[in-house]
Amino acid sequence: MSTSIKTRKFQVKEGKQVNLKHWPTSVEPFYRSKEHYLKLLEEHVSELSHLQSVFYADRHYAVLLIIQAMDSAGKDGVIQHVMSGLNPQGCEVWAFKQPSVEELAHDFLWRTALHLPERGRLGVFNRSYYEEVLVVRVHPAWLEKQNLPRELADPPALWKRRYNSIVHFERHLYESGTRIIKIFLHLSKEEQRQRLLSRIDEPEKNWKFSASDLQERQCWKEYMKAYEACLSATSTDEAPWYVVPADDKPNARLVVSQILLETLSGLNISFPKLSPEQLQQLQKSRKILKQA
């Protein structure tokens, strides 16, 4: 497994108060050229593919990868490139948009809990229940659609209760065998501006642009405060947050794939061992097939 990328420096320690101005959006590249990047990514994907085979056969753990970020930070690209060599049978990706009427009628964890990975599978959440303490915090008027009890709808106390609910929820999942990796793709405001401009200037990217991206960009400071509060309150030893510099897309993909590699390789997994009776039956089956 590659050891050139030290992922711990991107991890938010439990109890640490996060100030995103002190976390870089760009670091020295871990690759020397485009060819070197592709070689490193291929190595990561190959190792992930092997580990996934063992993980899928072992079926004692589940892994949940959560990716949160501002618009145009590269969430889709990370998922596409890092997951490219995995067996689709053992990997599921869910993208969460604005909640439906049915989802709004339940608690804020309900719709994502329906899609948690089972043991032996890797689940990827492109956005997640964290939207409820990020975008909803920036736009508190959206709470009205949730019809919360009046005594529970006061925002200052509400966010603290939701942080607590998330931490307890994730600890419950950990104790049930689910390992959670939480990635915040940390993009600079200037890099976002350049990427949004490219979506306008390059015809093949026009479909990616949305006027709502500009509206959300106006709330940049509010989003950074919401992320800082969220990362500070919900990064735990069991389910840590990683603040991954995202101005360099290839670099971010290498960091995320390394974190995923370390998580899978750290699990106590192996191919199932057959009993003497099962091995004997295999030999009988082999003999029958050889004679056929």
Instruction: Give dist(CA 123, CA 90) in Å, integer.
Output: 8
CA 211, distance to chain mean position in Å, is: 26
How many of the other CB atoms lie within 10 Å of CB of 174? Answer: 15
Domain residue spans of the chain: 7-291
Instruction: Give dist(CA 45, CA 51) in Å, integer.
Output: 10
How many of the other CB atoms lie within 10 Å of CB of 64? Answer: 22
Distances in Å between the Cα of 200 and the Cα atoms of 17, 20, 26, 35, 195 are: 37, 28, 24, 29, 9
Instruction: Give dist(CA 278, CA 287) in Å, integer.
Output: 14
H-assigned helices in the chain:
34-58, 75-82, 101-104, 110-113, 135-138, 155-175, 189-201, 211-217, 220-234, 249-265, 276-291
Instruction: Give dist(CA 49, CA 11) in Å, integer.
Output: 24
Predicted TM-score (pTM) of the model is 0.94
**For every one of its 292 residues, what pLDDT tens digit does the chain have, with 9 covering 90 and above?**
445 799 999 999 999 999 999 999 999 999 999 999 999 999 999 999 999 999 999 999 999 999 999 999 999 999 999 998 888 889 999 999 999 999 999 999 999 999 999 999 999 999 999 999 999 999 999 999 999 999 988 888 999 999 999 999 999 999 999 999 999 999 999 999 999 999 999 999 999 888 888 999 999 999 999 999 999 999 999 999 999 999 999 999 999 999 999 999 999 999 999 898 998 999 989 989 998 7
One-letter amino acid for residue 284 of the chain: K
Between strands 241-245 and 122-126, the pairing is unpaired
Phi, psi angles (nearest 5°) of residue 73: -80, -15
- CATH architecture classification, 7-291: 3-Layer(aba) Sandwich (3.40)
